[in-house]
Amino acid sequence: MVNNALHNGLAYTYTVFAMLFIGFYCIFTRRSMIRLLIGIEIISKAICLFIISGSYPQGTAVAQVLVITVIVIEVCVMAVGLGLVINAYRRSKSIDVRDFSNLKG
């Protein structure tokens, strides 16, 4: 039983690190604002998985409530981010991050 729990914990850990790597790869290598938002979303889902997998042995619902709060905040961030992408596309007809250097104040 303990051995199975150890393997499940390692599987969750490897999955979290893989998701973090994919999310940071999306953020640092791509110049599209949509892919940047997708990378942020992948990283936040990895953090949620980490919180849930860490609290699973205790059997409390505190982590689940925290993850629901994080998901609600993510939805607000993505709505604002997509609104900014739409506004930027209307202004410059591009969603490439490098094209927005002229918007600096």
DSSP letter, residue 32: B
- Cα dihedral 62, 64, 67, 68 sign: negative
The reply to whether CATH 1.20.810.10 applies to domain 2-93 is no
Q: What is the pLDDT of residue 5?
A: 55
Higher pLDDT, 104 or 24: 24
- CB contact at 8 A, 32 and 97: yes
Average pLDDT, the chain: 83
CA distance 20 to 44: 9
Q: What is the pLDDT of residue 6?
A: 54
Q: What is the pLDDT of residue 4?
A: 62
Higher pLDDT, 100 or 80: 80
Q: What is the pLDDT of residue 90?
A: 85
CA distance 32 to 30: 6
> pLDDT (tens digit, 9 = 90+) per residue, 40-91?
999 999 998 888 887 777 777 888 888 889 899 999 999 998 998 888 888 8
> pLDDT (tens digit, 9 = 90+) per residue, 81-99?
899 888 888 887 887 777 7
- Give the E-state strand segments of the chain in sequence order: none
**Where in the chain are the domains?**
2-93
Residue 1 tokens, joined: 């039983």
- pTM score of the predicted model: 0.79
